[in-house]
Amino acid sequence: MKIYGVAILAGCFLIGHILGDFLGHVLNMNGNLGGVGFAMLLLILLNDYFKKQHILKPETESGMLFWSSMYIPVVVAMSASQNVKAALSGGWVALLVGVFATAACFLLVPLVIKYAKSKTQH
Amino acid sequence: MNDLVAILDKNGLVFAFMLVGIIMYLSYVVSKRLTNHKIPGAAIAISVGLILAYFGGEKGLASVPAFSGLAFLGGAMMRDFAIVSTAMGASFSEIKKTGLIGLFCLVIGTVLAFFIGGGIAYAMGYTDAKSFATIGGGACTFIVGPITGGAVGASSEVIAISIAIGVIKSVIVTISTPFLAKRMGIDNPQSAMIFGGIVGSTSGVSAGLAATDLKLVPYGALTATFHTAMGCLLCPSILYFIVNFFIH
Protein backbone atom coordinates (compact mmCIF):
# COMPACT_ATOMS: atom_id res chain seq x y z
CA MET A 1 0.00 0.00 0.00
CA LYS A 2 1.10 3.53 -0.74
CA ILE A 3 0.78 4.54 2.88
CA TYR A 4 3.66 2.18 3.76
CA GLY A 5 5.96 4.26 1.60
CA VAL A 6 4.67 7.49 3.10
CA ALA A 7 5.17 5.99 6.58
CA ILE A 8 8.78 4.97 5.81
CA LEU A 9 9.41 8.47 4.52
CA ALA A 10 7.85 9.96 7.66
CA GLY A 11 9.99 7.69 9.84
CA CYS A 12 13.21 8.84 8.13
CA PHE A 13 12.04 12.44 8.38
CA LEU A 14 11.37 12.19 12.12
CA ILE A 15 14.58 10.29 12.95
CA GLY A 16 16.54 12.88 10.94
CA HIS A 17 14.87 15.69 12.85
CA ILE A 18 15.53 14.02 16.20
CA LEU A 19 19.22 13.64 15.23
CA GLY A 20 19.35 17.26 14.04
CA ASP A 21 17.72 18.46 17.24
CA PHE A 22 20.13 16.37 19.29
CA LEU A 23 23.09 17.87 17.41
CA GLY A 24 21.67 21.33 18.06
CA HIS A 25 21.57 20.63 21.79
CA VAL A 26 25.06 19.12 21.83
CA LEU A 27 26.55 22.13 20.03
CA ASN A 28 24.56 24.44 22.28
CA MET A 29 22.73 26.16 19.41
CA ASN A 30 19.04 26.71 19.15
CA GLY A 31 17.18 24.88 16.43
CA ASN A 32 17.62 21.84 14.25
CA LEU A 33 21.04 21.30 12.72
CA GLY A 34 21.12 19.33 9.49
CA GLY A 35 18.02 17.29 10.34
CA VAL A 36 16.90 17.27 6.72
CA GLY A 37 20.34 16.14 5.58
CA PHE A 38 20.39 13.29 8.09
CA ALA A 39 16.90 12.24 7.00
CA MET A 40 17.98 12.24 3.33
CA LEU A 41 21.09 10.17 4.05
CA LEU A 42 19.00 7.73 6.05
CA LEU A 43 16.47 7.38 3.23
CA ILE A 44 19.24 6.88 0.65
CA LEU A 45 20.84 4.10 2.70
CA LEU A 46 17.49 2.50 3.50
CA ASN A 47 16.36 2.67 -0.13
CA ASP A 48 19.65 1.11 -1.17
CA TYR A 49 19.18 -1.72 1.31
CA PHE A 50 15.58 -2.32 0.16
CA LYS A 51 16.68 -2.46 -3.48
CA LYS A 52 19.45 -4.97 -2.70
CA GLN A 53 17.05 -7.19 -0.76
CA HIS A 54 14.32 -6.73 -3.41
CA ILE A 55 11.73 -6.07 -0.73
CA LEU A 56 10.49 -2.68 -1.89
CA LYS A 57 7.12 -3.08 -3.63
CA PRO A 58 6.42 -0.61 -6.49
CA GLU A 59 3.22 0.41 -4.73
CA THR A 60 5.18 1.28 -1.56
CA GLU A 61 7.77 3.15 -3.59
CA SER A 62 5.08 5.18 -5.36
CA GLY A 63 3.98 6.47 -1.97
CA MET A 64 7.41 8.02 -1.56
CA LEU A 65 7.75 9.13 -5.17
CA PHE A 66 4.51 11.08 -4.94
CA TRP A 67 6.06 13.35 -2.34
CA SER A 68 9.25 13.81 -4.30
CA SER A 69 7.12 14.98 -7.23
CA MET A 70 5.49 17.50 -4.86
CA TYR A 71 8.90 19.04 -4.23
CA ILE A 72 8.66 21.91 -6.73
CA PRO A 73 4.97 22.73 -5.91
CA VAL A 74 5.83 22.95 -2.21
CA VAL A 75 8.74 25.24 -3.03
CA VAL A 76 6.38 27.40 -5.12
CA ALA A 77 4.01 27.68 -2.13
CA MET A 78 7.00 28.46 0.08
CA SER A 79 8.19 31.27 -2.15
CA ALA A 80 4.64 32.65 -2.31
CA SER A 81 4.59 32.93 1.48
CA GLN A 82 7.88 34.79 1.94
CA ASN A 83 8.38 38.38 2.99
CA VAL A 84 9.40 39.49 -0.49
CA LYS A 85 8.71 43.19 0.05
CA ALA A 86 11.40 43.24 2.71
CA ALA A 87 13.75 41.15 0.58
CA LEU A 88 13.57 43.58 -2.32
CA SER A 89 15.32 46.19 -0.22
CA GLY A 90 18.32 43.88 -0.56
CA GLY A 91 17.72 43.05 -4.22
CA TRP A 92 21.27 43.73 -5.33
CA VAL A 93 22.59 41.29 -2.77
CA ALA A 94 20.48 38.51 -4.30
CA LEU A 95 21.59 39.29 -7.85
CA LEU A 96 25.29 39.69 -7.02
CA VAL A 97 25.47 36.58 -4.84
CA GLY A 98 23.56 34.54 -7.42
CA VAL A 99 25.85 35.58 -10.28
CA PHE A 100 29.16 35.33 -8.44
CA ALA A 101 28.43 32.06 -6.62
CA THR A 102 27.38 30.42 -9.90
CA ALA A 103 30.38 31.80 -11.77
CA ALA A 104 32.77 30.49 -9.10
CA CYS A 105 31.23 27.02 -9.32
CA PHE A 106 31.45 27.07 -13.12
CA LEU A 107 35.15 27.99 -12.95
CA LEU A 108 35.87 25.15 -10.55
CA VAL A 109 34.05 22.45 -12.56
CA PRO A 110 36.55 22.16 -15.49
CA LEU A 111 39.50 22.00 -13.08
CA VAL A 112 38.06 19.04 -11.17
CA ILE A 113 36.93 17.30 -14.38
CA LYS A 114 40.45 17.69 -15.83
CA TYR A 115 41.93 16.22 -12.67
CA ALA A 116 39.45 13.30 -12.67
CA LYS A 117 40.11 12.54 -16.35
CA SER A 118 43.89 12.59 -15.93
CA LYS A 119 43.52 10.22 -13.00
CA THR A 120 41.44 7.68 -14.90
CA GLN A 121 43.85 7.71 -17.85
CA HIS A 122 46.85 6.75 -15.75
CA MET B 1 -17.83 37.52 -1.53
CA ASN B 2 -17.25 37.26 2.19
CA ASP B 3 -18.71 33.76 2.11
CA LEU B 4 -16.27 32.76 -0.63
CA VAL B 5 -13.30 34.10 1.34
CA ALA B 6 -14.55 32.24 4.41
CA ILE B 7 -14.81 28.94 2.51
CA LEU B 8 -11.37 29.34 0.93
CA ASP B 9 -9.86 30.29 4.26
CA LYS B 10 -11.46 27.34 6.03
CA ASN B 11 -10.14 24.94 3.39
CA GLY B 12 -6.83 26.71 3.02
CA LEU B 13 -4.61 23.73 2.23
CA VAL B 14 -6.93 22.40 -0.48
CA PHE B 15 -7.16 25.85 -2.05
CA ALA B 16 -3.36 26.07 -1.94
CA PHE B 17 -3.09 22.75 -3.86
CA MET B 18 -5.34 24.16 -6.57
CA LEU B 19 -3.63 27.52 -6.67
CA VAL B 20 -0.12 26.05 -6.92
CA GLY B 21 -1.34 23.62 -9.57
CA ILE B 22 -2.61 26.51 -11.68
CA ILE B 23 0.62 28.47 -11.20
CA MET B 24 2.65 25.41 -12.22
CA TYR B 25 0.50 24.75 -15.28
CA LEU B 26 0.70 28.32 -16.56
CA SER B 27 4.45 28.48 -15.84
CA TYR B 28 5.15 25.30 -17.80
CA VAL B 29 3.06 26.61 -20.70
CA VAL B 30 5.04 29.86 -20.67
CA SER B 31 8.30 27.89 -20.44
CA LYS B 32 7.37 25.82 -23.49
CA ARG B 33 5.70 28.45 -25.69
CA LEU B 34 7.64 31.62 -24.92
CA THR B 35 11.12 30.40 -23.95
CA ASN B 36 11.28 27.06 -25.78
CA HIS B 37 12.25 25.33 -22.49
CA LYS B 38 15.28 27.65 -22.13
CA ILE B 39 13.97 28.78 -18.75
CA PRO B 40 12.61 25.76 -16.84
CA GLY B 41 8.93 25.82 -15.86
CA ALA B 42 9.94 25.22 -12.24
CA ALA B 43 12.09 28.36 -12.20
CA ILE B 44 9.24 30.42 -13.69
CA ALA B 45 6.73 28.99 -11.19
CA ILE B 46 9.01 29.82 -8.25
CA SER B 47 9.51 33.35 -9.61
CA VAL B 48 5.74 33.74 -9.97
CA GLY B 49 5.43 32.66 -6.33
CA LEU B 50 7.91 35.33 -5.27
CA ILE B 51 6.13 37.98 -7.37
CA LEU B 52 2.75 37.04 -5.85
CA ALA B 53 4.31 37.19 -2.38
CA TYR B 54 5.25 40.79 -3.08
CA PHE B 55 1.55 41.73 -3.04
CA GLY B 56 1.06 40.18 0.37
CA GLY B 57 2.52 41.06 3.71
CA GLU B 58 4.91 39.58 6.21
CA LYS B 59 3.92 36.04 5.23
CA GLY B 60 3.78 36.95 1.56
CA LEU B 61 0.54 36.08 -0.21
CA ALA B 62 -0.37 33.88 2.76
CA SER B 63 -1.00 37.08 4.76
CA VAL B 64 -4.11 37.64 2.62
CA PRO B 65 -6.99 35.79 4.39
CA ALA B 66 -8.15 33.45 1.58
CA PHE B 67 -4.58 32.41 0.77
CA SER B 68 -3.50 31.39 4.27
CA GLY B 69 -3.16 27.73 3.21
CA LEU B 70 -0.04 28.59 1.22
CA ALA B 71 1.80 29.13 4.48
CA PHE B 72 1.00 25.55 5.49
CA LEU B 73 1.77 23.92 2.13
CA GLY B 74 4.99 25.93 1.89
CA GLY B 75 5.72 25.76 5.61
CA ALA B 76 8.74 24.12 7.20
CA MET B 77 7.09 20.73 7.79
CA MET B 78 5.76 20.11 4.27
CA ARG B 79 8.88 21.58 2.69
CA ASP B 80 11.29 19.35 4.64
CA PHE B 81 9.09 16.31 4.03
CA ALA B 82 9.06 16.82 0.26
CA ILE B 83 12.80 17.53 0.18
CA VAL B 84 13.65 14.35 2.09
CA SER B 85 11.59 12.34 -0.39
CA THR B 86 13.72 13.56 -3.32
CA ALA B 87 16.56 11.44 -1.91
CA MET B 88 14.65 8.53 -3.49
CA GLY B 89 16.23 9.58 -6.80
CA ALA B 90 19.75 8.99 -5.51
CA SER B 91 21.49 5.69 -4.89
CA PHE B 92 24.47 5.18 -2.65
CA SER B 93 26.14 2.56 -4.84
CA GLU B 94 25.99 4.91 -7.86
CA ILE B 95 27.82 7.71 -6.08
CA LYS B 96 30.43 5.25 -4.82
CA LYS B 97 31.51 4.77 -8.45
CA THR B 98 32.65 8.37 -8.59
CA GLY B 99 34.31 7.68 -5.28
CA LEU B 100 36.18 10.17 -3.19
CA ILE B 101 36.24 12.78 -5.92
CA GLY B 102 32.43 12.92 -5.83
CA LEU B 103 32.46 13.54 -2.10
CA PHE B 104 35.17 16.16 -2.57
CA CYS B 105 32.94 17.96 -5.14
CA LEU B 106 29.99 18.01 -2.75
CA VAL B 107 32.03 19.49 0.08
CA ILE B 108 34.04 21.98 -1.99
CA GLY B 109 30.96 23.10 -3.96
CA THR B 110 29.02 23.74 -0.77
CA VAL B 111 31.88 25.51 1.03
CA LEU B 112 32.75 27.65 -2.02
CA ALA B 113 29.17 28.83 -2.61
CA PHE B 114 28.63 29.33 1.12
CA PHE B 115 31.60 31.64 1.68
CA ILE B 116 31.29 33.57 -1.60
CA GLY B 117 27.57 34.14 -0.94
CA GLY B 118 28.04 34.97 2.72
CA GLY B 119 31.10 37.09 1.97
CA ILE B 120 29.28 39.28 -0.57
CA ALA B 121 26.35 39.63 1.84
CA TYR B 122 28.77 40.61 4.61
CA ALA B 123 30.38 43.23 2.38
CA MET B 124 26.93 44.63 1.56
CA GLY B 125 25.90 45.11 5.15
CA TYR B 126 24.49 41.77 6.35
CA THR B 127 27.14 41.50 9.03
CA ASP B 128 25.54 39.07 11.49
CA ALA B 129 26.38 35.36 11.49
CA LYS B 130 22.74 34.28 10.95
CA SER B 131 22.38 36.34 7.75
CA PHE B 132 25.86 35.29 6.55
CA ALA B 133 24.96 31.61 6.93
CA THR B 134 21.46 31.94 5.42
CA ILE B 135 22.59 33.88 2.35
CA GLY B 136 25.59 31.56 2.01
CA GLY B 137 23.16 28.64 2.12
CA GLY B 138 21.02 30.33 -0.54
CA ALA B 139 24.12 30.47 -2.74
CA CYS B 140 24.13 26.63 -2.59
CA THR B 141 20.47 26.11 -3.55
CA PHE B 142 17.10 27.71 -2.83
CA ILE B 143 16.42 24.83 -0.44
CA VAL B 144 19.56 25.10 1.66
CA GLY B 145 19.02 28.84 2.27
CA PRO B 146 15.60 28.66 3.97
CA ILE B 147 16.53 25.48 5.86
CA THR B 148 19.67 27.14 7.19
CA GLY B 149 17.72 30.31 7.95
CA GLY B 150 15.06 28.35 9.81
CA ALA B 151 17.65 26.41 11.82
CA VAL B 152 19.70 29.42 12.91
CA GLY B 153 16.68 31.72 13.33
CA ALA B 154 17.31 34.27 10.55
CA SER B 155 14.70 36.91 9.65
CA SER B 156 12.06 36.25 6.98
CA GLU B 157 13.61 39.05 4.91
CA VAL B 158 16.99 37.31 4.77
CA ILE B 159 15.32 33.95 4.06
CA ALA B 160 13.46 35.53 1.12
CA ILE B 161 16.77 36.89 -0.22
CA SER B 162 18.32 33.42 0.08
CA ILE B 163 15.47 31.91 -1.94
CA ALA B 164 15.84 34.64 -4.58
CA ILE B 165 19.58 33.84 -4.82
CA GLY B 166 18.87 30.13 -5.30
CA VAL B 167 16.32 30.93 -8.03
CA ILE B 168 18.76 33.26 -9.81
CA LYS B 169 21.42 30.53 -9.65
CA SER B 170 18.99 27.94 -11.02
CA VAL B 171 18.06 30.19 -13.95
CA ILE B 172 21.70 31.01 -14.78
CA VAL B 173 22.71 27.33 -14.61
CA THR B 174 19.80 26.25 -16.80
CA ILE B 175 20.42 28.82 -19.51
CA SER B 176 24.22 28.71 -19.62
CA THR B 177 24.92 24.97 -19.20
CA PRO B 178 24.18 23.96 -22.83
CA PHE B 179 26.51 26.71 -24.07
CA LEU B 180 29.35 26.04 -21.63
CA ALA B 181 29.16 22.23 -21.20
CA LYS B 182 31.76 21.43 -23.85
CA ARG B 183 34.20 24.05 -22.58
CA MET B 184 33.86 22.70 -19.05
CA GLY B 185 34.53 19.17 -20.33
CA ILE B 186 31.14 17.70 -19.48
CA ASP B 187 30.85 14.77 -21.88
CA ASN B 188 30.51 11.59 -19.80
CA PRO B 189 28.64 10.35 -16.69
CA GLN B 190 31.55 11.04 -14.36
CA SER B 191 32.01 14.64 -15.47
CA ALA B 192 28.25 15.17 -15.23
CA MET B 193 28.39 13.92 -11.64
CA ILE B 194 31.23 16.31 -10.87
CA PHE B 195 29.25 19.17 -12.41
CA GLY B 196 26.10 18.34 -10.42
CA GLY B 197 28.08 17.90 -7.22
CA ILE B 198 29.83 21.26 -7.40
CA VAL B 199 26.98 23.38 -8.77
CA GLY B 200 24.10 21.83 -6.78
CA SER B 201 20.85 23.47 -7.91
CA THR B 202 18.99 20.25 -8.84
CA SER B 203 16.42 21.94 -11.10
CA GLY B 204 19.05 24.04 -12.87
CA VAL B 205 21.48 21.15 -13.34
CA SER B 206 18.88 18.67 -14.59
CA ALA B 207 17.26 21.18 -16.93
CA GLY B 208 20.64 22.43 -18.16
CA LEU B 209 21.97 18.92 -18.79
CA ALA B 210 18.71 17.95 -20.52
CA ALA B 211 19.40 20.68 -23.06
CA THR B 212 23.03 19.48 -23.39
CA ASP B 213 22.76 15.70 -23.54
CA LEU B 214 19.75 13.82 -22.21
CA LYS B 215 21.85 10.81 -21.19
CA LEU B 216 23.79 12.87 -18.65
CA VAL B 217 20.71 14.08 -16.74
CA PRO B 218 20.39 11.31 -14.11
CA TYR B 219 24.09 11.52 -13.23
CA GLY B 220 24.11 15.27 -12.75
CA ALA B 221 20.79 15.22 -10.91
CA LEU B 222 22.09 12.45 -8.64
CA THR B 223 25.00 14.43 -7.24
CA ALA B 224 22.98 17.65 -7.27
CA THR B 225 20.53 15.90 -4.93
CA PHE B 226 23.43 15.00 -2.66
CA HIS B 227 24.62 18.59 -2.85
CA THR B 228 21.35 19.77 -1.29
CA ALA B 229 21.69 17.16 1.46
CA MET B 230 25.30 18.18 2.03
CA GLY B 231 24.28 21.84 2.18
CA CYS B 232 21.46 21.12 4.63
CA LEU B 233 23.94 19.15 6.70
CA LEU B 234 26.91 21.56 6.66
CA CYS B 235 25.47 25.09 6.39
CA PRO B 236 23.39 25.24 9.60
CA SER B 237 25.97 23.21 11.55
CA ILE B 238 29.73 23.27 10.97
CA LEU B 239 29.81 26.21 8.55
CA TYR B 240 27.48 28.32 10.73
CA PHE B 241 29.62 27.35 13.70
CA ILE B 242 32.77 28.62 11.95
CA VAL B 243 31.09 31.89 10.91
CA ASN B 244 29.62 32.36 14.37
CA PHE B 245 33.11 31.97 15.82
CA PHE B 246 34.52 34.89 13.80
CA ILE B 247 31.55 37.29 13.63
CA HIS B 248 28.66 37.79 15.99
| Residues B119 and B38 reside in one and the same domain | no
Above 0.90 for ipTM, yes or no? no
Q: Are residues B138 and B29 in the same domain?
A: no
Grouping H, G, I as helix, E, B as strand and the rest as coil, residue B186 is coil
Residue B33 sits in the same domain as residue B94: no
Among B21, B242, B40, B3, smallest CA distance to A77 is for B21
CA distances from A121 to A22, A65, A111, A116 (A): 45, 38, 16, 9
Residue B117 sits in the same domain as residue B186: yes
Structural domain including B231 reads 90-246
Q: Looking at beta carbons, which residues of chain A come within 8 Å of B241?
A: 27, 29
Residues 176-205 of B with CB under 8 A from A: 176, 180, 183-186, 190-191, 194-195, 198-200, 203
Please report residues of A whose CB lies closer than 8 A to that of B184. 106, 109-110, 113
Whether residue B84 lies inside any domain: the answer is no
Domain ranges of chain A: 1-82, 84-122
The number of folded domains in chain B is 2
Q: Is B131 among the domain residues?
A: yes
| pLDDT tens digits, one per residue of B134-179 | 999 999 988 899 989 988 999 998 999 998 898 888 878 877 888 8
What string of DSSP letters covers B171-182? Answer: HHHHHHHHHHHH
Domain assignment of residue B83, yes or no: no
**Which residue, among B233, B64, B53, has the nearest Cα to B151 in the 3D structure?**
B233
pLDDT in tens, A14-53: 999 899 888 778 866 656 667 777 888 889 889 888 888 9
User: B118: nearest CA in chain A?
Assistant: A97
Q: Are B220 and B189 in contact (CB under 8 A)?
A: no
CA B1 to chain A, closest CA, distance in angstroms equals 23
Q: List the beta bridge partners of residue B57.
A: B60
The gap from C-alpha B128 to its chain's centroid, in whole angstroms, comes to 22
Give yes or no for residue B239 having a pLDDT over 90: yes
Q: Among residues 24-63 of chain B, which lie with CB inside 8 Å of chain A?
A: 24, 42, 45-54, 56-62
**How far apart, in whole angstroms, are the C-alpha atoms of residue A47 and residue A52?**
9
**The domain boundary residue, chosen from B46, B74, B102:** B74
Contact A80, B49 (CB under 8 A): yes
Please state, in angstroms and rounded to a whole number, the distance separating the CA atoms of residues B37 and A18: 40
Minimal Cα–Cα distance from A118 to chain B, Å? 12
Choose between A24 and B127: higher pLDDT: B127
Mutation target to probe the A interface, by most A beta carbons within 10 A, among B70, B85, B106, B232 is B85
